[in-house]
Structures are given as structure tokens and as C-alpha cells.
Structure 1
Amino acid sequence: MTPHMSISTMDLDHADRCRRALAEEQAASLAATDGWAHVDKDQVHRDWHDLYGEIAAAITAGATPEDAAVQELVGRHYAIASRFYAPSRVAYIGMALLYAEDDGMRTWHNSYHPRMVEFLGAAMLRYAGSAL
């Protein structure tokens, strides 16, 4: 993956595979865990809130999605998401697509920084390609 790759320039067939993987993995996990009953959802939201504040600060400071410090932050994002279930590489990319394509998710994420969805999506793509 090049540093310039983004979810908006992703191959359409690959994007569809990623969306399907996310939907299938989430549905299987929800069914197997009684709707993610094992997850402390309030703690997850607090942890994501803190993390998104750190990512917003990194964006403001001029970081790039491929920076090692940003990739460490995305590793934390993946770890938080994995409290529900450990998404596969393609499902994790599907999550980045969800953030960009769902109006509520886009608005919520971009409330931390106007470029959050774009930046986080690119960082998640990099992370998925190198760590998953």
C-alpha cells in the first residue's frame, strides 16, 4: 500500500468484500456473544473518546497516517475494537469504510477533527496492510 492510498480510491470490488466481511463477522460475533454482552460498552466509548482526542491532536500537529506514532494509536484502536471480536484484515478495512459511508459514524468521528474519518481511514488501511 502506498502512503497515498485511501478508502476513497480503493478498488470497488475490494471495498465490497471488506463491507461484506465486516457485516458477516459482526453478525457472527453478535450471535455468539448475546449481543456483545461481555463488553463494557461505556468503557469502550470512554477509551475511544480519549484515543480520538489523541488522534485529533496528531492530525493538528501535522502527523501522517503512516507515521509510527499514528500506527501505534491505530493499534490501540484495533485493540479496543477487538474487545467485541478481533476483526480480520478485510473486516477492519470494512470498519474504515463504515466510518466514511455511514452519516452518523462520519459525523461522530469528525466531531473530534474535521479530517478524522479521512485520516483514520488511511491509517487503518496502513495498519491492516502491515499488522493484520
Structure 2
Amino acid sequence: MGTGAVGNNYEDECRRSLAEEQAKSLAATNNWEHVDRERVHQDWDVLYREIAAFLEGGSLPGDQQVQELVRRHFDIACRFYTPSREAYVGMSLFYAEDEAMRAFHDSYHPGLVDFLGAAIKVFAEQGSGFAPCAGAEASA
């Protein structure tokens, strides 16, 4: 039971990191004025369809091909700002806890938000997997 409390503290840290890092980035970039939002949404749409296909096919969050897709997700997120490991995990928590975000992600597959969250946690925990962003010009 002790690990549950640690997990909750870690999740709270992740939520806090996401909120703080996004607020700082929003303020510094005039609400992410530099982001081509239409392109981001197109790229995430393609990516979520690919992830849903792997989920449907029985893949696991830690599978190499799934982790490569999560790397693309991280690179798309980096078009806004470069999140820390904790903020990136916080993003997965936001997807799961915000009703509209859960509904959006799960519209691709009923289990997508939970699968993606688990895959993001694996990605963030892998020291070598969590390299700096590919850059604002990265495309999926």
C-alpha cells in the first residue's frame, strides 16, 4: 500500500509540473502563437489512428512500435514547448481526468486514453527513450 501513496505523490507532482510548465510557456509565447494548430491536430489524428490500430491488434504499451509512436506524440507536443518527464506524464493524466479529453481520445478507440497513458509512462521512465525534442519543425 505504500507504493500507492508514492504513486499519488508522483502523480500530483506530474499534474503540478504540467500546469506550471504550460503556464510559463503560454505566457512566453503569446498563447503558443508559433504553433500551427491545424497541422498539429492533423498529425495527432493520424497518430491516434495508428495507435488505435496497435491497441486493437493486441499490442502492449511498452512494445517497441508503440514506443516509437509515443516518441512521435512527444515530438508533436514539443511544438508547443518541451515538457519535462513529469509534465509529459501529467499530460497523460490530463487526458484521462478531463472528461472532454478522455472522450476525444477514446473516440479513436474505447481504451485509447488509458493505453496511451500507460505508454507515455513507459516512455517517460526509459532514460534513453526520453531524449530532447526533435524541435519545433518536427513533423509526424
Same fold (TM over 0.5): yes
Structure 1 runs, 4 residues or longer, greater than 3 Å off = none
Residue by residue, what CA displacement relative to the aligned partner does 1:60-100 show, whole Å, maximum 9, x if unpaired?
Answer: 11100000000000000000000000100000000000000
In structure 1, the partner of 2:62 is: 66
Three-state SS of the structure 1 residue aligned to 2:109 is: coil
Aligned to 1:84: 80
**Which gives a bigger RCO, structure 1 or 2 (Cα 8 Å, sep 6+)?**
1
How far, CA to CA, are the matches of 1:101 and 1:61 in structure 2? 26
Whether 1:27 and 2:23 are equivalent positions in the alignment is yes
Who is 1:38 aligned against?
34
Q: 1:124 aligns with which of 105, 120, 123?
A: 120
The TM-score with structure 2 as length reference comes to 0.87
Cα shift readout 1:45-70 (whole Å, capped 9, x = no counterpart): 00000000000000011100000000
| Aligned positions, number | 125
- Cα drift, residue 9 of structure 1: 9.5
User: RMSD between aligned alpha carbons?
Assistant: 1.4
SS at match of 2:33: coil
Q: Please list the CA deviations of residues 17-36 of structure 1 after superposition, one character each: whole Å capped at 9, or x if unmatched.
A: 00000000000000000000
Task: Give the whole-Å Cα distance in 1 for the aligned partners of 2:31 and 2:114.
Answer: 29
Structure 1: runs of 5 or more not aligned: 1-7
Give the partner amino acid of 1:67.
D
Determine if the alignment matches structure 1 residue 98 to structure 2 residue 80. Answer: no
> What TM-score, normalized by structure 1, do the two folds share?
0.92
**Equivalent residue in structure 2 for 1:11, among 7, 14, 17:** 7
2-side partners of 1:108 and 1:9: how far apart? 30
CA shift, 1:10, in A, is 7.3
